[in-house]
Structure 1
Amino acid sequence: MAITVDETSIALHDAVPAPYAIDVRAVTKRYATRTGAVQALAGVDVTVAAGEVVALVGPSGCGKSTLLRIIAGLEQPDAGEVRLFGLSPAQARREHRFGIAFQAAALLEWRDAAANVALPLELAGWPPARRTQRVAELLARMGLSDAASRLPRQLSGGMQQRVALARALALAPPVLLLDEPFSALDELTREQLQGELLDLLATIEPAPAVLLVTHNLAEAVLLADRVVVLSRRPAQVLAEVPIDLPRPRRAELRDDEHLHRLVAEVRTVLRSDG
């Protein structure tokens, strides 16, 4: 079943033509600490085209998640500029131009799975009948129809992340921001959700632009069209590695020799950063 964008989202998508879904230019970020200022990002440039999947990798603590939070408008850069389809992060948030999912599912404990997915629809003012239909569609697509009335504590970690992804997709945003969404899961569950995400992205029309933060190189190569490699802090872009694996892409590709060569290429770039 294809997940289609409703007419409101299409209108928003067409309203502001722009060359990139995500356009990060010369972004710099510093933090004040008790021992002095720490620079997290130093002039980072990243672009993501409409419908493209870009993975952001780098050493632990290099500023990957900080950059994603800046793109989402949750933090402000000290210098540089971020645009999503030509809009500032604040404007993009008001116009429901992006969805976001984090490492922790961050579900509201007092709301069941269906009500968690429905939250952005409620905030956007969707009428109840339309919300119910959309939530049922998303839960079915994520294999969660039988779990609609369960509270978060009654769901496994993998099921919680499915709910979080469904919530991020509720308003059919043209941009999807994923901050290590599978890193807290066991390996088998992680691999299963990687495959489900590949299947999901192949059915959304039009396909969203996706920026994925991950420390797992195989995951980055499996999911992305391009891998952006960040340096140690303060982070700069070391390289961009194009991923020429075919789409539609299947999880079975994780055993492909060419995928392993691409992972090795990304690893070599990381190791070159003294």
Structure 2
Amino acid sequence: MNEAPKNWFDQGGQHYAHFRPEYPAELATWLAGLVPDLDLAVDVGCGTGQFTTLLAKSFKQVLGIDPSQSQIAHATPLANVSYLCAPAEQLPVDDRCASLITAAQAAHWFQLPAFYDEVRRIAKPGAVLALITYGVLTLEAALNARFQQFYTDEIGPHWPPERALVDSGYATLPFPFDEQQAPALHIQHEWTLPQFLGYVSTWSAIRAAREAQGDAILTRFADDLAHAWGDPSTVRPVRWPIHLRLGTL
């Protein structure tokens, strides 16, 4: 295996697509089993189509919508998937045509009252709205305490305020719909130490911490974790809980 970089956090946020957690296919399949039909799913805040493409395996047509033209330009193409550039609060979708509306790791950026008005407008009777997020990752016990200290105490002040909504699993978001319970799901990867720290290096809080305080806190964390990890090429489980706010319209 190649030598790890001397400064783990110089790998850079531009590599997010390489390190990002991938949603399990069974989440999209389970959602498809809840809706009145499989004609159209609309994925709002779709980014480059990470979750959109999973929905394409179950639905006849899927529409991914994101306000960033750059994200849409790099979205994954599929025969039954279309992408449009638009804000969540002004969806370019016909009335009463969507059987499923999703927002994966995106709803904390929306102006929710306006988004919810759009959801009500485009939803078919019996359609489902799913707000999806994944929470704070966990590592093996020997590593997890040090990671949680780093995440909460050391770089915690550098997260944007919206991050608290993600960490709570969207529990505090207003959700004025007939809410349903969701099964316990998770994302899991088996990563080496360079892969794990490469992912951490993509966080906005890491960039903010470096700008505010330099590299000392980051270097100390990386050194501590490397000591506990052992051989950097050893793969270890990294696990994120999936949280959903799920409603029927």
TM-score, L = length of structure 1:
0.27
Larger radius of gyration: 2
TM-score, L = length of structure 2:
0.28
